Amino acid sequence: MTGRQHGVSAGVNLGALRTHNTALVLDLLRTAGPSGISRLELAERTGLTPQAVSKIIARLRLEGLAAEAGRRTSTGGKPRTVLRLLPGAGHAVGLHLDRDELTAVLCDLTGTVVAERRAPLDLGAGADTVVEGAAVEVEALLAGLSGPEPAPVLGVGVALPGPLDHTRGVLHRVTGFPEWSGFPLRDVLARRLGTAVVVDKDTNAAALEVAVRGAGPSACLAYLHLGTGLGAGLVIGGGVHRGARTGAGEFGHQVIQLDGPPCECGNRGCVEALCLAAVARGDVDGAARVLGAAAGNLVALLDIDEVLLGGRTVAAHEEAFVRGVGAVLDERARREGADRAVPVRAAPGGARTVAEGAAQLLLAPLFGRGEG
């Protein structure tokens, strides 16, 4: 297919056209879930003719990606045949490298976790040790993929705290561990495992996971991650927005009190500092209010459709954070005369959201989400 050259959007040929439409159909099949979807419905939703859909479906069935699954009740004529995605036709591994723990999940095509492993993690043990440990966990997961003809593994997605360069898969500085600075994680792990590897920030992976579930192809949502730090993953126009330097989502050091207390970043009045300080002194409601104010800024700036909260600190006081942030947003929406407030929810999937999102780094492109 035609390559992409220094920032110029590429020309499109028949191959790209087919890939696009196929991805569209696959995404609708995936979204439909086990209950399936009919050819005609696919035609309506994509805008393609029924005949085009029939051809695409025939190809997908031949490739083992889709299958017929019963029929709907007749509406006066021949009943529609229901089609569904074959989840086992492909798998991907999601690897979440958190500060002290490694989580690895094996996901099928639908993104469902079919196996999971956890292990302690010590970034201070050195790059080689960490990479080897991660590779062993991945191999252990893949060993469970048996069967007469094992379905292909698309690759391994790795999610970890930034900053990093997702296009090249290279880490920048990792706070406290200077040896990791500039480490080419993607290439090293890809060579070690012999599979495709994609590296991204943990917050971006979580945002992708949330976008792939439920959110439509043009949705805008914000995933706010409050753990030992505060960061965000942004979904804009249905896709994760990373920016040219994978820097987008820098939310924690949003200055929200010009003359506030100093933050370790060198600035004053960052949300992260204010929020974590409130949590530290046991004032969860106060932390939620501060987080809500910053979230309000973000929601207004980008016209966000939905806010999702995740991370350990949120998980520890889930109800309080959802309620507190929601209250601030509601109040602001009411003042500004908006028809409806922006919904705030805890990110579904809990602690596994990031790992599942890491797997989606490889799965999502199949469905036209992400830079496939």
Partner DNA sequence: TCCACTTAAGCAACGCTGTTGCCAAAGTGC
Partner DNA sequence: GCACTTTGGCAACAGCGTTGCTTAAGTGGA
Contact residues for DNA, defined by CB under 7 A: 2, 11-15, 17-18, 21-22, 38-40, 48-52, 54-58, 71, 73-81
Closest CA to 236 of 302, 296, 295: 302
Nearer to DNA, 80 or 289 (CB): 80
Nearer to DNA, 65 or 270 (CB): 65
Q: Which does residue 51 touch among DNA, a copy of itself, none (CB within 5 to 8 A, set by kind)?
A: DNA
Minimum CB separation of residue 274 from a copy of itself in Å reads 8
Nearer to a copy of itself, 213 or 352 (CB): 213
Nearer to DNA, 86 or 271 (CB): 86
215-220 long-range CB contacts below 8 Å, 24 or more apart? 215/305, 215/306, 217/27, 217/368, 217/369, 219/305, 219/306, 220/302, 220/303, 220/304, 220/305
CA distances from 25 to 50, 74, 277, 283, 348 (A): 12, 23, 48, 48, 25
How many angstroms separate the CA atoms of 262 and 42, rounded?
55
CB hemisphere CA count around 260 (13 angstroms): 20
Q: Which two tokens stand for residue 177?
A: 């561990």
Q: Which two tokens stand for residue 19?
A: 């890939």
> Counting beta carbons within 10 angstroms of the beta carbon of residue 43, is it exposed (0 to 12), middle (13 to 18) or buried (19 or more)?
middle
Nearer to a copy of itself, 78 or 340 (CB): 340
Q: Which does residue 40 touch among a copy of itself, DNA, none (CB within 5 to 8 A, set by kind)?
A: DNA
Minimum CB separation of residue 347 from a copy of itself in Å reads 19
Q: Which does residue 336 touch among DNA, a copy of itself, none (CB within 5 to 8 A, set by kind)?
A: a copy of itself
Q: Which does residue 155 touch among a copy of itself, DNA, none (CB within 5 to 8 A, set by kind)?
A: none
How many angstroms separate the CA atoms of 169 and 189, rounded?
10
Task: Count other Cβ atoms within 10 Å, centred on residue 2.
Answer: 10
User: Is the dihedral angle over the CA atoms 236, 241, 244, 245 positive or is it negative?
Assistant: positive
Q: Which does residue 242 touch among DNA, a copy of itself, none (CB within 5 to 8 A, set by kind)?
A: a copy of itself
Nearer to DNA, 37 or 329 (CB): 37
Q: Rounded to a whole number, what is the distance in angstroms from the first to the last CA of the chain? A: 12
Nearer to DNA, 77 or 120 (CB): 77
Q: Which does residue 74 touch among a copy of itself, DNA, none (CB within 5 to 8 A, set by kind)?
A: DNA
Minimum CB separation of residue 24 from DNA in Å reads 9
Torsion of CA 37, 39, 41, 43, to 10 degrees: 140
Q: Which does residue 162 touch among a copy of itself, DNA, none (CB within 5 to 8 A, set by kind)?
A: none
How many angstroms separate the CA atoms of 84 and 68, rounded?
6
Nearer to DNA, 54 or 267 (CB): 54
Q: Which does residue 127 touch among a copy of itself, DNA, none (CB within 5 to 8 A, set by kind)?
A: none
